[in-house]
A = this chain, B = another copy of it.
Amino acid sequence: MRINILIGGSAGHGINTIDQFLTRLLTKKGFHFHSYKDYMSRIRGGTNFTHVTLSDQPVHCHDDALDVIVALTSEIIKEHYDRLTENGLIICDADVVLPEPCRHQVTRLNFKEILKETGNTKGYSMVALGAIVKAIGLEESTLNHLVDKRWTEAIIDANTKTARMAYEATHCVLISIPKTNEDHLVMSGNQAVALGALAAGVGFYSAYPMAPSTGVMSYLTQYETRYPLVVEQAEDEIAAINSIISAASNGLRSMTSTSGGGFSLMVEGLGFAAVAEVPVVMLDVQRPGPATGMATRTEQSDLNFVLDASQGEFPRIILSFNSIEDAFYKTFRAFNLSDKYRVPVILLSDQYLADSTSTVREPDLKALKIDLHLVKEVREDYRHHDLRTLVQDRVVPGMTSQIVMNDSHEHDENGSVTESASNRAAMNDRRMSKLNEIIKEIEEPRLIGDPEAKDILICWGSTAGVVAAAVDNLTGQGRSVGALIFGDLYPLPTKTLTKLIERGARLINVEGNYQGQLRQLISRELAYPIHHSILKYDGRQFSPGYILKAYEEMIQK
């Protein structure tokens, strides 16, 4: 059972604060939740909202129907009123305009009045919190947890008092839902990446700010001292990629993050890392393109781009995140893969996932192992690009007395420039053949729902959560459908896919882009056409309802 709460207003209304405390309280109370942010590319004003979905089960996406709308502006009602369930509840400020007649329960609170009374002029968020806590049936004592280490006692008192008043003034109570007793962590998509990188021992992180990726850097920067780690804001993305390549070539695990526009500037560096066989991890948090596009919106349209970005040909690994928890593990794994094969690893996230927060099972850190694949003592016969082997540990300057050359040209086994035709062909073979090794470690896509169903939805990245919810829903209706969820994307794992094709399943690709880019990749690699697509490219993430509707329409035809 899931409850959906949408809380919206203008930038400056503290929607973020409401979200942050609400999700903390929910976690404390043993709920699972998923919360995503919809905000405009501006600092003040406009219309922003956060959408919190809570449950006793892990949640990976939002739903279409809303149980509670908290509206600080009339726009929020205008936009989302239609989504309110029959028993749904509206909590709103005094001047918010509601439809006439309003068929729903309404708690109208005079925010300003309450705040005047408690002398807490900036406490908008506390009013909202008090009301929501009551609405979802939690005890008043829950509000005792409205604390933050940056607050003074006086602030805490005023806040709690404010929230209590709102609690009291809220009359409508939703049926409360079962809780779990597990201990979860709360993280955002961007945080999960930062934590995955720290777990992997990242020692250098350089990036240039760019929504929606900046959160990774903001998180890491807080822990520079503890790890120790250097986080440096670069002058541009070109500097970022080139400095991490160099740091990595000196044995330090290094990473950069950006969105598509910044990735564009890193393209030359990507090829350099590949030819020099220096391991780097690059995160692309996708937003709608082309060019500046939509800074705070979501899309899955960079797959084609990162698949073949940069001149010439070289191996690379592309992994996408299916959930926040997955983002942690995939980032960790990216470093090991990159070091082992000495190839760049590109992580694909997107605004929806990056800016979402959810409960996450606590990772078992002891089960993780860092493998740097560095040469620790002088090796007489060392060759930096050894034609006799594909997978080799590497020498970095200053770790032994051995010297080494990292080079951006075509080079011989020792990194010296050469124009020899035979060397060129051999080096190209060496690099490209790595893909045959890498594919052995690539994870097959996950098949969920009915594995024998006629219809199999295909998706990747953050769309996984939405597709899973849609499949659950259909299964709940007693219908047979499955979904194939891709996390690892390149080299494309084809075993499961081939089996589905062989048994004649009808494949339907569900992607947040125009062209159906995973569909294109499958077609390119398997020469197999997928004829059915559910696509969305309006800057917003799918919802389960959207998929269901599109699916129904599709099968009707």
**Residues on A facing B (Cβ under 8 Å):** 40-41, 238, 259-261, 263-265, 267-268, 271-272, 274-276, 286, 288-294, 296-297, 299, 301-302, 304-305, 307-314, 408-410, 419, 421-422, 424-425, 428-429, 432, 513-515, 520-521, 523-525, 527-529, 537-540
Contact = CB atoms under 8 A, between A and B. Distances in A.
B523 A421 contact: no
A293 B264 contact: no
A66 to B, nearest CB: 18
> Most chain-B CB neighbours within 10 Å: which of A275, A307, A309, A313?
A313
12 contacts: A260-B310, A264-B271, A265-B267, A265-B268, A267-B267, A271-B290, A288-B424, A291-B408, A313-B515, A421-B538, A425-B538, A432-B515
A249 to B, nearest CB: 13
Contact of A308 (B268, B291, B299, B304): B304
A387 to B, nearest CB: 14
B539 A410 contact: yes
A309 B263 CA distance: 11
A275 B297 contact: no
B421 A267 contact: no
Contacts of A429: 514
Given A296-B419, A297-B424, 9 more contacts: A260-B311, A272-B292, A275-B289, A291-B311, A304-B307, A305-B308, A424-B537, A520-B524, A523-B523
> Most chain-B CB neighbours within 10 Å: which of A267, A312, A513, A538?
A312
A313 B294 contact: no
A428 B290 CA distance: 10
B267 A264 contact: yes
Q: Which 9 A-B pairs have the closest CB atoms?
A: A289-B312, A260-B311, A271-B290, A527-B529, A264-B268, A289-B311, A524-B524, A304-B308, A290-B312
B41 A419 contact: yes
A432 B514 contact: yes
| Copies of this chain, tallied across the complex | 2
B259 A311 contact: yes
A423 B409 CA distance: 45
Contact of A297 (B274, B293, B299, B419): B419
Contact of A409 (B268, B294, B424): B294
A301 B312 contact: yes
Contacts of A419: 40-41, 294, 296-297, 539
Contact of A428 (B259, B291, B424, B514): B514
A336 B116 CA distance: 67
B261 A410 contact: no
A425 B514 CA distance: 9
Contacts of A271: 264, 289-291
A428 B238 CA distance: 29
A286 B311 CA distance: 8
A288 B312 CA distance: 6
A154 B301 CA distance: 66
A343 to B, nearest CB: 11
Nearest to A237: B268
A307 B291 CA distance: 16
B523 A293 contact: no
Nearest to A521: B524
A149 to B, nearest CB: 35
B305 A291 contact: no
Nearest to A307: B308
A419 B297 CA distance: 8
A424 B538 contact: yes
Contacts of A524: 520-521, 523-524
A293 B311 contact: yes
Contacts of A288: 312, 410, 424
A493 to B, nearest CB: 18
A312 B410 contact: no
Contacts of A259: 311
Contacts of A309: 264, 267, 305, 308-309
B272 A290 contact: yes
Contacts of A304: 307-308, 313
Given A267-B264, A409-B294, A527-B529, A289 B305 contact: no
A311 B261 contact: yes
A268 B238 CA distance: 12
Contacts of A525: 523
A316 to B, nearest CB: 10
Given A305-B308, A310-B305, A538-B425, A409 B291 contact: yes
A259 B308 CA distance: 16
A264 B289 CA distance: 17
Contacts of A308: 304-305, 307-309
Contacts of A286: 311
Contacts of A520: 524
Contact of A313 (B40, B297, B301): B301
A72 B431 CA distance: 37
Contact of A527 (B294, B408, B513, B527): B527
